[in-house]
Amino acid sequence: MSGRFRFIFITLLVLTFCFPVAAFSARVKDIASVQGIRQNQLFGYGLVVGLDGSGDNAGKGFTIQSLVNLLERMGINVSPDDVKAKNVAAVMVNSTLPPFARIGKKIDVTLSSIGDADSLQGGTLLLTPLKGVNGRIYALAQGAISVGGFSAGGDAGGGIQKNHPTVGSITGGATVEREIPLSLAGKKELTLLLNDPDFTTAIRMAKAIDDEFGEEITKPIDSGTIQVRIPGQYQENVVQMMAQIGSLQVVPDSVAKIIVNEKTGTVVIGDNVRIKNVAIAHGNLSIQITETKNVSQALPFAPQGGLGKTAEFDRGVLVAPGGSTVVTPETDVTVREENNRLMLVPEGRSIGELVRALNALGVTPRDLIVILQTIKSAGALQAELEIL
């Protein structure tokens, strides 16, 4: 790692961990959701037409059969052998039905080619019903496709491609045709689900809600579930109550954790990470192996395949025996170890102090991964170490 990037890395860690900051608080709506108020996935099978020769090849039977069935429903009888699908592509259409979506609401759809189409650019999705997991139709999709990429190539091969041209989207391309029954009016209790379950966060959230309404209306069930009783004055106006709860500020808590991604050399260290009394000595061991090839050339005018005898003078003339060119490999191994001093980290120090101490040893982020793993193995790291 260069000196510049090492300086940036250490500066970010020092700014993050070494300066005292106020406790972070978040809104309830950002760290929890209401049970039953959720999105629902929709999917469907459709055809994209109007492509400029970039559709499915003629060998894709399901595209041909779908096109023939579509034409027959429109009163046109054709033989599958007479249909060419170069301008047609079969796609899967996906969408998400948001909660409280009413009939007529527009939702976005995503299209993905399931054949061997080269691109969906310039195509139009024909009317496609979108179904839920229960098999009922909840929306209808149709419209011109937007593809954030392109591909071009020649008959001789090669070409150029930008992004992913076989996946497209239609903003507001589907219309909701059926609603999912969901009403808050008249409810006597609701259940809050924490996005990241934690007992401390659940207790804090319950207390904040009770303080807001001036009475005990919550009951924490476990680390991720809180039951909320709706007071009588709010049972006809649950929306207002949920708006008040959603805007409450809560300080979330979490376990001490360190996330390590060895593939990219990324280390993310959470708050509350502590270490026991530990001594650290770290030095980089560098082994360099260099191999060269030495060439031994035969003497001039020497016939090939000789016995390799020493050249002699015969009547004043140098006579060279037979010889051949020989390649001899030569390997050079160099081992270098950096000398770094032993460092003692007192017990109970924060991760910010640990990082400053490791900086004194001149470690890089990739070295830090190995050091943290070793400290964890020694039982001195009071945190969960998760390796991706």
Measured between alpha carbons, how far is residue 341 from residues 174, 279, 280, 282 in Å? 66, 11, 9, 8
DSSP 146: B
3-state secondary structure of 317: strand
Tokens in use for 195?
Answer: 């996005």
Q: What's the confidence (pLDDT) of residue 225?
A: 95
Please count the other Cβ atoms lying within 10 Å of the Cβ belonging to residue 161. Answer: 13
Residue with tokens 């179904």: 131
Structure tokens at 238: 């649950």
- Show the low-confidence residues of the chain (pLDDT under 50): 1-21, 285, 287, 305-308, 313, 317-319
CB burial of 199-212 (b: ≥16 within 10 Å; e: otherwise) equals eebbebbbebbeee
What pLDDT was estimated at residue 256?
A: 84
- Write out the two tokens for 3: 């000196």
The structural domains of the chain, with segments of one domain joined by +, span 3-19+257-284+339-387, 26-36+183-250, 40-176, 286-337
CA–CA separation, 219 vs 192, rounded Å?
10
**Tokens 């992913």 sit on residue:** 164
Residue 232 is given by DSSP the state: G
Tell me which fold the domain 26-36+183-250 belongs to: Gyrase A; domain 2 (3.30.1360)
Longest distance between any two alpha carbons in the chain, whole Å: 128
What 3-state class would DSSP assign to 128? Answer: strand
* CA–CA dist 376, 104 (Å, integer): 56
Tokens 């954030």 locate to 148
Q: Rounded to an integer, what distance in angstroms lies between the CA atom of residue 70 and that of residue 120?
A: 20
Q: Give the three-class secondary structure for 358.
A: helix
Is the Cβ–Cβ distance between 359 and 341 less than 8 Å? no
The pLDDT of residue 156: 55
Whether the predicted model's global pTM rises above the 0.85 cut:
no
Total Cβ atoms within 10 A of residue 187: 13
Q: Which tokens belong to 210?
A: 């009770």
pLDDT in the model for residue 1: 47
Q: Which two tokens stand for residue 281?
A: 């000595």
